[in-house]
Amino acid sequence: MTTLEKPGSGAGVALSDALNSKEGKAEGKRMSENDRKKEYLKGYQRALREIDRIIGLLQELQIDKMCPSLIQDGMPHGSGTSDLSGYMAKKENLEMRLLKAQEKALMELDDITDHIDRLRNENEIDVLFNRYIKGMGWEEIAVKMGYSWQWIHKIHSSALKNLRID
């Protein structure tokens, strides 16, 4: 019998008791608040990945139009000299999506950096900026800042606690 089984199955009593205690409620609230802050901070990196996906689609579209005869399956195919209207419409659509994604990324960057810059501790600012704006890993941040990996996590935890996103 584990404490992580579904509530109501009789096995989740210890887990539900912990969550219903005063400490459990405070811990659960803080965890969800930290998760909410992390998701907010990850917004810029998500926007950058969307830009990369759209750029990849544009590149594939261009390659498919420039080299339609690269299909090497031994079957006859058309000459690839069809009109360009379908291609241009797809390209224009992707370019518009790219512009919107770039605008969104810039807005995310401005908003997130504004919130990060409101922190009072320079180490907290550096950790959040390097992690969520530059996309650096924990070890990279630790080396760059000259602290241990564990200390970077403590700074990160403190930064999340002090960050106000409301």
User: Helix, strand, or coil here: 2?
Assistant: coil
List the structure tokens of 97: 């999506």
Domain range list for the chain: 118-166
- Rounded Cα–Cα distance for residues 98 and 109 (Å): 16
Report pLDDT digits (tens) over 81-140.
Answer: 556 788 899 999 999 999 999 999 999 999 999 999 999 999 999 999 999 999 999 999
Note the CATH number of domain 118-166. 1.10.10
Mean per-residue pLDDT, 42-63: 95
| DSSP letter, residue 12 | T
- Rounded Cα–Cα distance for residues 132 and 153 (Å): 14
- Rounded Cα–Cα distance for residues 128 and 43 (Å): 13
Phi and psi angles of residue 118, each rounded to the nearest 5 degrees, phi first? -75, -15
Q: Which residue has the higher pLDDT, 71 or 94?
A: 94
